[in-house]
Chain A
Amino acid sequence: MERHLSADAATADERAAVDAILSRPPSPWVGGERSPHALHAARRDESAVPPRDLLLPALRALQAEAGGVSRGAISYLAARMDLPPSDIYGVAAFYALLDVDAPPEAGASVKVHLCDDVVCQLAGAESLIAKLRDRYGAEGEPAGGVSWHRSPCLGQCDRGPAVLVQRAGTYAADIAIASATAEDVARAIADPTPAPTPPATVPQAGDASLVVLRRIGRVDPADLDSYRHAGGYESLRRALALGPESVIQWVTDSGLQGRGGAAFPTGVKWRAVASQAARTHYVVANADESEPGTFKDRVVMEEDPFAVVEALTIAGYATGAEQGFIYVRGEYPLAAARLRHAIARARQRGFLGSNVMGRGLSFDIDVRQGAGAYICGEETALFNSLEGRRGEPRNKPPFPTVHGLFGKPTAVNNIETLLNVLAILAVGPERFRAVGAEDAKGTRLFSLSGAVMRPGLYEAPFGTRLGAVIDMAGGLRPGRTLQAVLLGGAAGSFVGPEALDTPLAPAALRPIGATLGSGVVVVFDDTANLRHTVLRIARFFRDESCGQCVPCRVGTVRQEELVARLAAGTPRGSAADEIRLFHDIAQAMRDASICGLGQTAASAVDSAIRLGILGREGGPA
């Protein structure tokens, strides 16, 4: 079909950026240069149209090249991919890290994304923002090619305040800086050589009794041999000896549950995919962790990338998939780079490809990066994003195990979940399940941040008391008292000091209205302004709602407006009236939203009202 395209032409650089992803156009009929000579032969080769899932990589490449997605670039993409320009625009305009409003001369522009979310607020984000405002002017207004923007959580809560510098043009790069000073930001803007990466904050590093973090600090993340010396690829070897059916049985017997937030039994999910008659099957590693306060998967991917590759290979083997994808959030450039390196090495050494470990198994992995959208961590939104569509969740059922990526049976697992599989195969299901709580087996990663002595990533058995986990991080700073803990992130809930003795396991948390979610523990001492935190969470959900369904699209707005009134002590009517209204809004979002984002968007605010942080009669204390 001949598309209606605008007369705007892509620049040579923009075309080159797209061609680097899609390969060069094979004929004038799919976006190539049309000379009068070429028009003699009207041939169209459908196989020359690139698959739609390359759209997001191409849009990311354009952003890096030109500092934005221009009209000409969309025209070129539309011709190359045989997609409507309106459709491509709709996709590009969905993502926070893609700019469809960039001025045409954006070229070598730099965008500085500053995290002002829950945890970075505690780490001085506002004072850093004030400094950048002095230096670069008002938010969102380019000055000298540099603009700065407030950003939701960048997943560097162990060392905030965090910044993501998005540099476009010749020295294009995404640079994550934490903890960031104004000088660090200036250096990243001016100097194209990347600054050295700070070491991971894993205070338990080197402890061989750990299950998931055991290799952190002991292996070189760039070296396959170092990984193998630390026991790497022994689990895949064991899996290949056992056969797919037994692998699934072991995972089932281990009691492993998903670590992304929903705690679904992994073995059940794998069996559901493996038993689907329809082919092709896919496995997807969900590395889009964007839950404010969560950074666990980033640390694992950065420090132990081969483990992610090995674990996903096992998942593919067990479920009958020959292709795996790792969807890494766009704000994690280092994790994506290290995973890509690990995949290339593994392929080179026969751990991926058409003959994995010489056993005739065919399996390979592709890394795809997001572009700034919390919702894409929802599994069906992730599929849509990966397929080159707007990251809008799909209605379930059908579930991914039946109708997942590209409409095929798909096992999608969180990074931490996958790493547990390595341990299950290494020690067997009995030893794995010997640790943990009655209703949740094994250990759990905790992203610990806020007002503790040593923020960082910690591993502890399910059922460990909340207070004991905080003690692992050295407890509160001297002279401070505990005000509250945010458990499970923005989609989780606040708990008060009385919860310190509560074991961190699903059944024990239920009575206090909390869940572990993605393992977030943000600690607030008596100096924190929690009303401000609650308002930031309400703002987060309004920003991150995909806008598809009414309860979430409007509900998150009404919730933010209501929280703003309560936080300022200016309720409409009485505070009790506002709380009644809140419960109506919350129930509609929980009951009628399409996906988990809307269904949990009121959870933290609800808990804040329960704890009296918000809505006490007489306004704020």
Chain B
Amino acid sequence: MNASAPTGSQRSRDDRLTLPAAMRERIVAHARAEAPRECCGLIAGEGGALVELIPLTNDAPGIDVYRIDDAELYRVYRDLDGRGQEIAAIYHSHPTSAAYPSAADVDLALWPDACYLICLIADVDRPDLRGFRIVDR
């Protein structure tokens, strides 16, 4: 899958991120395991490549909403920074609605350099995973 999303500010809008099939499968599996709640996590990048998928805890109460656990996020972020890696992509699931960013997804897209991946699992046989770059213009 290609997601139109640069992972660094020096990149052009035309840059594309190639998501390895194994990572795609892990995101879909995470989405299914967490349903009906939304799953969330991130993908670490290094030198333009996606190197590690890191599932994280959805700390938001209820369904149809996510917030990556703040303390967990900070620990992971600090660790990645120490290793010279970056947050290349942030993923979450929409168990029943469209694989497009919601108003909240756009409003709260505070990491414009990252690719936002949204996984739809409404059709169990045909999960849909799409990537978006969400920037404040």
Whether A and B are associated in the same complex: the answer reads: no
Contacts from B to A (Cβ < 8 Å):
none
